[in-house]
């Protein structure tokens, strides 16, 4: 065979070369250390300097942390036990943990209620976060806000029930009318829900909460990390749908819808959150009918939700803009109408692109819930700065308390971040 080719072609390969193992110098731990830590003398020097700095930090931190005192009743006792040695006074955590978690006025015999709500939260979130789980679990997710409300605030069960009934009736009306026109279904549903809520408000007697199964706890008694969690979860889950609506509204061809969304987004983004919170604290009361006494918690939720939804809207707008025009055209050419094209084609892709941005906003929002301490709500930071540091026993214990607060927030935020990375990998279907 080669004979015939050698006359006409200069070079012909007759067999392919087999794959061979890499030489030993190209792999192994020694190789890794040399390549990554000491490749040149300058990099080696930097490695040594970095190791020295890490050593110094740990040498300062570890004795303080490991030598900590956990069992005393006040800072003065702590100092006695330590006798001038380096050591943290973690006793403040063992002494005041319940205040840090639940606030200082939440009745201690009811701590099980928010704790149960917290445990159920995972059951409710699971089918939303992990879509391999059975879809029937979403029924519980739908009920969870009402269950959690009842557990934490207590009082008559008819309040959350009538709220739930309003949503159910609103949805049924929407289902009935949406076939004739989307607008009829949408506004019909809203009107029906409002009617149910108003009627429910009339029917429930003023004193219904007095002998309820769960004793009522007023909003001003909520506090600690529980308050941060409640604000964070409520506001993130409300601001995501609102942000999607705003982003789509901003793209709308209807000028009025478009301008309302643009003005809302630009206004809210141009104002510091803290001013919105002051508005919630002082001024928002003027907008509600006198005597309706809309709860401070609800007012703060409205403001933080508005704030976050404006940011989420802009993140999602970026995702929408990143989609090729062909996706819209393909949906159009198949005869899908606008809601179908958005729900089935555009939003799944745009939201996937927006995940890092949305998580960024969610994490930022969760940490910003500590700002409510400025308007005298006793969240985790409010508890530390107020009742605990002001007490004679623990005046002066800064590091231990803020380390604890940081650890709590870090666990939640790192969890969110890890979940979002898992979700991005999971949704990776373009295989580029």
Binder of other proteins out of 175, 332, 356, 415 (CB under 8 A): 332
Asked if 340 touches other proteins (CB under 8 A), the answer is yes
Asked if 330 touches other proteins (CB under 8 A), the answer is yes
Minimum Å gap between C-beta 335 and other proteins is: 3
Minimum Å gap between C-beta 182 and other proteins is: 12
Binder of other proteins out of 289, 324, 392, 407 (CB under 8 A): 324
Residues in 349-378 at the binding interface with other proteins, rule: CB under 8 A: 349, 352
Asked if 132 touches other proteins (CB under 8 A), the answer is no
Binder of other proteins out of 326, 390, 407, 425 (CB under 8 A): 326
Residue 103 or 331: the one with the smaller Cβ distance to other proteins is 331
Convert the chain into a string of H (helix), E (strand) and C (coil).
Answer: CHHHHHHHCCCCCCCCCCCCCCCHHHCCHHHHHHHHCCCCHHHHHHHHHHHHHHHHHHHHHHHHHHCCECCCCCHHHHHHHHCCCCCCECHHHHHHHHHHHHCCCCCHHHCHHHHHHHHHHHHHHHHHHCCCCCHHHHHHHHHHHHHHHHHHHCECCHHHHHHHHHHHHHHHHHHHHCCCCHHHHHHHHHHHHHHHHHHHHHHCCHHHHCCCCECCCCHHHCCHHHHHHHHHHHHHHHHHHHHHHHHHHHCCCCHHHHHHHHHHHHHHHCCCHHHHHHHHHHHHHHHCCCCCCCCHHHHHHHHHHHHHHHHHHHHHHHHHHHCCHHHHHHHHHCCCCHHHHHHHHHHHHHHHHHHHHHHHHHHHHHHHHHHHHHHCCCEHHHHHHHHHHHCCCCCCCCHHHHHHHHHHHHHHHHHHHHHHHHHHHHCCCCCC
Minimum Å gap between C-beta 327 and other proteins is: 6
Q: How big is the site for other proteins, counted in residues (CB under 8 A)?
A: 22
Binder of other proteins out of 82, 195, 336, 408 (CB under 8 A): 336
Asked if 175 touches other proteins (CB under 8 A), the answer is no
Asked if 425 touches other proteins (CB under 8 A), the answer is no
Asked if 334 touches other proteins (CB under 8 A), the answer is yes
Binder of other proteins out of 50, 337, 418, 421 (CB under 8 A): 337
Q: List residues binding other proteins (CB under 8 A).
A: 324, 326-327, 329-330, 332-337, 340, 344-345, 348-349, 352, 427, 429-432
């Amino acid at each position: 065979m080669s004979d015939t080719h050698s006359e006409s072609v200069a070079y012909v390969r007759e067999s392919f070369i087999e794959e061979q193992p890499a030489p030993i110098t190209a792999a192994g731990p020694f190789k890794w250390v040399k390549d990554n830590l000491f490749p040149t003398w300058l990099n080696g020097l930097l490695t040594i300097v970095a190791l020295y700095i890490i050593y110094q930090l740990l040498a300062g931190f570890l004795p303080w942390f490991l030598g900590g005192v956990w069992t005393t009743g006040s800072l003065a006792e702590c100092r006695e036990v330590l006798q001038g040695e380096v050591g943290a006074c973690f006793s403040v955590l063992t002494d005041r943990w319940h205040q840090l978690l639940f606030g200082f006025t939440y009745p201690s015999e009811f701590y099980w209620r928010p704790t149960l709500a917290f445990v159920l939260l995972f059951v409710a979130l699971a089918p939303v976060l992990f879509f391999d789980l059975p879809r029937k679990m979403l029924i519980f997710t739908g009920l969870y806000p009402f269950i959690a409300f009842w557990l934490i605030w207590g009082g008559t069960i008819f309040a959350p029930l009538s709220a739930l009934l309003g949503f159910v009736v609103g949805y049924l009306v929407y289902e009935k009318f949406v076939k004739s026109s989307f607008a009829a279904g949408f506004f019909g549903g809203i009107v029906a829900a409002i009617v149910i809520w108003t009627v429910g408000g009339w029917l429930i007697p003023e004193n219904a909460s007095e002998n309820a199964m769960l004793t009522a706890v007023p909003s001003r008694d909520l506090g600690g990390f529980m308050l941060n969690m409640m604000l964070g979860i409520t506001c993130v889950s409300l601001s995501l749908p609102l942000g999607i609506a705003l982003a789509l509204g901003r793209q709308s061809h209807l000028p009025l819808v478009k301008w309302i969304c643009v003005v809302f987004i630009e206004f809210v983004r141009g104002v510091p959150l803290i001013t919105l919170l002051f508005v919630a604290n002082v001024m928002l009361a003027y907008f509600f009918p006198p005597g309706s006494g809309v709860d401070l918690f609800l007012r703060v939720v409205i403001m933080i939700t508005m704030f976050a939804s404006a940011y989420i809207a802009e993140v999602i707008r970026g995702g929408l803009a990143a989609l090729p025009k062909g996706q819209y055209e393909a949906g159009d050419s198949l005869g899908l109408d606008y809601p179908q094209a958005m729900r089935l084609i555009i939003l799944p892709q745009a939201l996937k692109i927006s995940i890092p941005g949305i998580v960024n906003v969610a994490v930022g929002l969760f940490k910003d819930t500590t700002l409510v301490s400025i308007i005298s709500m006793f969240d985790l930071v409010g508890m530390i700065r107020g009742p605990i540091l002001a007490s004679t026993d623990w005046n002066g214990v800064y590091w231990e308390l803020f380390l604890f607060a940081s650890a709590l927030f870090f666990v939640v935020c790192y969890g969110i971040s890890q979940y979002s990375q898992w979700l991005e990998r999971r949704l990776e279907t373009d295989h580029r």
